Amino acid sequence: MAKQIFEWDYSSYPGAKKYPNLFTPIQIGNLIVPNRIKYAATEDNLNQHDGFVTDADVEYMRRRAEGVVGGLCFMQGVYMDAARKGQGYVGQAACYDDKFIPGLKKIADAIHSEKAVAGFQLMDCGRVGAVEVPVGHGPSAVPQRLRIFKPMAEMSNAEVKEMVQQHIDAAKRGVEAGFDVMEISGIVGYLISNFISSYTNRRTDEYGGDIRGRMQAVVEIIQGVKEAVGPDIPVGIRLCSEELLDDVGGNSPEESMQSYQIAEEAGVDYISCTLGWQESIYPVISRDIPQGNWLYLAKRAKEHVKIPVQMAYRIFLPKFPEEAIAKGELDFWEMCRSMIADPLMPKKVLEGREDEIRHCVACNLCLARLFRDAPMTCYISPVCAHEHDPDFFPQEVAEDDKKEVMVVGAGPAGLECAYVAAQRGHEVHVYDKRDVLGGTLNEASKAPYGDEELLTCTNFQKTMCEKYGVEFHLGTEVTEGMIEDEAPDAVILATGPVYSKLKGAEEDGKKVVNVLDVLSGKAEVGEKVVVWGNRKPGIGVALKLAKDGKKVTLVGEDKSAGFDINPSFKWRYMIYLRQNGITAYNDCSIEEVGDGEIVVKTLNGQRFPVQCDTIIITERETNEALKATVQSEGIELYVVGDALVPRNLSSAVHDGYRIGLRI
């Protein structure tokens, strides 16, 4: 007899009318889930390095549980071996002993406190594990391609059986801690996927051979866990629908679908459809992949199995899963990064507040941080991983402390600061000489490979500013006199950067243009272009022009192009630079500007000419404008974003948020 843990009635919510399929119950195993929403298990590095759960992680999970409005909420995958070979992240929760149960129970209780279904995931990180020990374990000792991962040792037959038992024992502990659903992680290079893949499993015993042999350990885990947790707890598995490892002899898509069928035969109650390994050479989830791109894989999975199919992977907007569920091509909308950026995202969908969603910009900073042993951080959300700290959330100021705040600049730093300050009760006025909100993000979003998604930041901030009564004064350039006349209590200078001058480029006849004018289409450029500055603004405009057929050379003083892009996304840009025929001279400066060419000087002093008819300035400097005036008037002053130090969107948003809290 199927049961439902918490009752939910969505009938009065606008989101349930707009997306009826998302808010329709579904049965998995003997459990009825009120809706089709799942926060998928995601590492956050917030726990103690010995595997014990922290209050920070409990509150992180509580917030996501609130977001799923009754749906599935999975805590991060736990490692299950005392030897810690299965531990892939320094802050990963452990479950190899009963001593961890009280901490895990706190998470289950937190999820239940929001009337959500608590999911527990078993995750031995295998090939990408052993983060704290010298050697990892796997079905075969296939060397690591990336040096950041530990060398591998082949598991003996007895060790494989022990690993199966560890999954079963951990599942029992998960049930004791109060979790409602069990999930086995078999994805992205973790141990289970190592067993399934022909790339990493070269065993000759019963755990190797053809796909059925390579699935044998998985089958034993599924059957063992099912028996251990009993009929009331559904057991699911996350499996690769395509490994994207054809360059190293991984499974074919057909073999992956066979693995789905074998898992179904073994008794799993649902499959979460995933894609690619961390070692794959193909992009899967970065912004350059269009949203909804991978839904065909869920459809294919549905054609091969009868149990419910779940999927995340570039499905940030509710319309995609809504349509896919309606067509019978998907059963669950999974989310990882979109609920890292905004834990309440599905709740806002339900309540008809979609414009209040802070959308993930698919930059993968969160992953880059986790791989480098740092706690979770979100590029676009300053509060992510600070859910346990009340100081990170806006507190209303006392009536006497309310201030009139002038924000100069309606870019991401200014707008972020404005709505947070207004939310706290200050009277906030935002000025910008432009007629539109967003500042330089308007131009940045014109760069190719998905950068239009950056504008979701402005849309969110605009909504929040309007919600909290921020007054906009667009088309108004703030002058020194205006500051003196208005005499606000506080001034926030979010004026953006000043673009650097190139020595020798001021003379007539030399075509030097600003990156903003190029991206906005105001400036014309020739056929041979030099972009000065090898950070993201330079890369963005270079790629746009190269795609327009221009011959582009990038010159910059950073050691490598894209120094300001996190490594989990930067590799994509390096490939795009190559694919578009862009030459990058890094560690170089422009020594001279002549007619039809420039002289590039390397860090070592070598000089060489580069032909060009246009030079585009993307190098930026701190903006000192208005600072002296504000200080001389004795007004409380804050400088945020690129005006303070030219950096990136993330720094602008985080700056603005923190100052918004401080005023």
Closest to another protein by CB, 92 or 140: 140
Closest to another protein by CB, 248 or 513: 248
- CB of residue 211 vs another protein: minimum separation in angstroms? 16
* Binding range to another protein, per CB under 8 A, among 108-116, 451-459, 480-488, 604-612: 604-612
Side chain identity at residue 566, one-letter code: N
Q: Give the one residue of 5, 141, 383, 523 binding another protein; rule: CB under 8 A.
A: 141
Q: Does 581 bind another protein (CB under 8 A)?
A: no
- CB of residue 197 vs another protein: minimum separation in angstroms? 11
CB 89 within 8 A of CB 370: yes
**How far, in Å, are 200, 411, 426 from residue 403 at the CA level?**
62, 21, 5
Q: Give the one residue of 6, 282, 296, 608 binding another protein; rule: CB under 8 A.
A: 608
Q: Does 503 bind another protein (CB under 8 A)?
A: no
Pull the structure tokens for residue 165: 């038992």
Q: Does 636 bind another protein (CB under 8 A)?
A: no
The CB density around residue 595, as the number of other CB atoms within 10 Å, is: 8
Closest to another protein by CB, 379 or 532: 532
Q: Does 282 bind another protein (CB under 8 A)?
A: no
- CB of residue 145 vs another protein: minimum separation in angstroms? 4
Output helix, strand, coil percentages for the chain, rounded to the nearest 5: 35, 20, 45
Angle CA(461)–CA(315)–CA(327) in degrees, nearest 5? 130
Side chain identity at residue 73, one-letter code: C
**How far, in Å, are 517, 535, 562 from residue 443 at the CA level?**
8, 15, 18
Size of the site for another protein (CB under 8 A): 24
**How far, in Å, are 97, 111, 444, 451, 565 from residue 539 at the CA level?**
50, 43, 11, 12, 10
Closest to another protein by CB, 20 or 594: 594
Q: Give the one residue of 98, 206, 247, 477 binding another protein; rule: CB under 8 A.
A: 247
* Binding range to another protein, per CB under 8 A, among 373-381, 496-504, 513-521, 594-602: 594-602
Q: Which residue has the tokens 């860090």?
A: 603
404-408/490-493 β-pairing: parallel
Q: Does 202 bind another protein (CB under 8 A)?
A: yes
**How far, in Å, are 243, 289, 562, 565 from residue 568 at the CA level?**
18, 14, 12, 8
CA 101 to chain centre: 29
Q: Give the one residue of 11, 12, 204, 604 binding another protein; rule: CB under 8 A.
A: 604
* Binding range to another protein, per CB under 8 A, among 167-175, 215-223, 540-548, 589-597: 589-597
427-432/620-621 β-pairing: unpaired
Fill in the per-residue mask, 609 to 628: x = in contact with another protein (CB under 8 A), - = not in contact. Answer: x-------------------
Closest to another protein by CB, 224 or 504: 504
Q: Does 231 bind another protein (CB under 8 A)?
A: no
490-493/498-499 β-pairing: unpaired
Pull the structure tokens for residue 556: 């910059």
Closest to another protein by CB, 246 or 621: 246
Q: Does 134 bind another protein (CB under 8 A)?
A: no
Q: Give the one residue of 513, 599, 625, 645 binding another protein; rule: CB under 8 A.
A: 599
- CB of residue 602 vs another protein: minimum separation in angstroms? 9
Q: Give the one residue of 594, 622, 624, 631 binding another protein; rule: CB under 8 A.
A: 594
Q: Does 204 bind another protein (CB under 8 A)?
A: no
Q: Which of residues 509-568 bind another protein (CB under 8 A)?
A: none
- CB of residue 143 vs another protein: minimum separation in angstroms? 4
- CB of residue 545 vs another protein: minimum separation in angstroms? 23
- CB of residue 576 vs another protein: minimum separation in angstroms? 18
Q: Give the one residue of 11, 12, 204, 606 binding another protein; rule: CB under 8 A.
A: 606
CB 74 within 8 A of CB 174: no
- The CA distance from 216 to 226, in Å, is 15
Q: Does 574 bind another protein (CB under 8 A)?
A: no
Q: Give the one residue of 153, 281, 574, 625 binding another protein; rule: CB under 8 A.
A: 281
Residue 321 contacts by C-beta under 8 Å, 6 or more apart in sequence? 21, 22, 36, 315, 330, 332, 333
Pull the structure tokens for residue 410: 């309606």
SS3 for 209? coil
Closest to another protein by CB, 347 or 601: 601
Helices H / strands E in the chain, number of each: 22, 27
Side chain identity at residue 374, one-letter code: A
Q: Does 592 bind another protein (CB under 8 A)?
A: yes
Strand partners, 238: 185, 272
Terminal C-alpha separation, the chain: 57
Q: Does 469 bind another protein (CB under 8 A)?
A: no
Q: Does 20 bind another protein (CB under 8 A)?
A: no
Q: Which of 227, 327, 287 is nearest to 444 (CA)?
A: 287
Which stretch of DSSP H or E encloses residue 153? strand 152-154
Strand partners, 552: 529
- The CA distance from 43 to 555, in Å, is 38
- CB of residue 127 vs another protein: minimum separation in angstroms? 12
SS3 for 180? coil
- CB of residue 595 vs another protein: minimum separation in angstroms? 9
Closest to another protein by CB, 144 or 463: 144
Closest to another protein by CB, 250 or 646: 250
Q: Does 153 bind another protein (CB under 8 A)?
A: no
Q: Which of 282, 138, 119, 277 is nearest to 207 (CA)?
A: 138
CB 25 within 8 A of CB 32: yes
Residue 566 contacts by C-beta under 8 Å, 6 or more apart in sequence? 363, 364, 365, 368, 379
Q: Does 505 bind another protein (CB under 8 A)?
A: no
CA dihedral 395, 399, 400, 404 (to 10 degrees): 80
Q: Does 32 bind another protein (CB under 8 A)?
A: no
* Binding range to another protein, per CB under 8 A, among 23-31, 116-124, 138-146, 291-299: 138-146
DSSP per-residue letters across 5-38 = SS----TT-HHHHHSTTTTS-EEETTEEESSSEE
* Binding range to another protein, per CB under 8 A, among 32-40, 135-143, 268-276, 421-429: 135-143
Q: Does 597 bind another protein (CB under 8 A)?
A: yes
SS3 for 105? helix
CB 422 within 8 A of CB 461: no
Q: Does 578 bind another protein (CB under 8 A)?
A: no
Q: Does 249 bind another protein (CB under 8 A)?
A: yes
Q: Does 154 bind another protein (CB under 8 A)?
A: no
Closest to another protein by CB, 142 or 397: 142
Q: Does 147 bind another protein (CB under 8 A)?
A: yes
* Binding range to another protein, per CB under 8 A, among 59-67, 88-96, 590-598, 639-647: 590-598
Per CB under 8 A, residues contacting another protein are 141-147, 199, 202, 246-249, 281, 592, 594, 597, 599, 604-609
